[in-house]
Amino acid sequence: MSSTTPNPPPPVYQPALAWFALIGGAWVFVLVTLGAFTTTIGAGMAFGDWPLSNGSVNPHGWLEDIAMFAEHSHRLSGTMMGLITIVLAVWLARKESRRWVRRLGWAALAIVVVQGVLGGTRVLFDAIHVPGFEMTLGQMLRIPHGVLAQLYICVLIIIATALSRSWIEHSRPVTLALRHSGVLCVVLLLLQLTVAATMRHNFAGLAIPTFPYSTTEGQLLPAHWDYRVGLNFAHRLMAVVLSIALLWFALKLWTDRGASLLMRCGASVMISMLALQILLGAHIIWQMREVHVTTGHVVVGALLLAVTFWLTCLAHRDAIEDAPEAR
């Protein structure tokens, strides 16, 4: 007598779990904002020890000193993010019927652990010099720390989306072209944010000090080239490519018959964020990296990725849920 593996029960909307995942998805932007502010004002080494700050969880004077406040707040928000992720992963493992969602919970937990280690070793290895490089080993670790944060955002977004009532109860019969355009935009955004993190931590944000042109004479190409100028110009060039791709994705969303009203509204939000991001990027140059503008540029970039990835997830909803290996 042959045995067959019973089909898992269909997903059921669980309000408490869904709202908790949504809170986690929102809290990550508190963490990103504090991290961006800390980096912008150069406060990453406000404390020379880790995991404590000056040997304490409540270091003296951290509420009065802006650098100490920025760094310690970032550490505290990271601890809170870790606790949220632990609860979410365990909750999913115990209550979620879909295997792929449970696996994403453990993936989120693994990422947040790696992020904590990267953040800590960035402090502990700050004085270790690497031959042939201007940055120390600790300073180099800021780049993967920033890049991995974007992947972590994506994991939290898809978990929260998959737990929502809209995802569970409604199909999304959109075209394959719409799905492909969304994937392309997400890949381009991750690439752009990687370039941005590398540029930011190599202090290349003003390597080309004029905008929209690359020289005061109105030339599109820089007058001279070095590593920092190349990073800055690559960031600008990627912004042009990405703008075209996002506009194309939005057009697909607005015209696809299978796209819901929510997806069409999301496309409008995505394009609005794109416009704001371009404006903030220009003002970084015009205002010589003013702290609030620069921090806002980082945060809006992360939000743009989140919205684009969310829309791409919605477009792939039927393909994900219908895949037998996902159960």
The confidence score (pLDDT) of residue 8 equals 66
pLDDT by residue (tens digit) across 51-80? 999 999 999 999 999 999 999 999 999 999
Q: Which of 13, 35, 264 is nearest to 150 (CA)?
A: 35
Q: Which of 101, 142, 102 is nearest to 120 (CA)?
A: 142
Residue ranges of the chain with pLDDT lower than 50?
Answer: 1-3
Helices (H) and strands (E) in the chain, counts: 11, 0
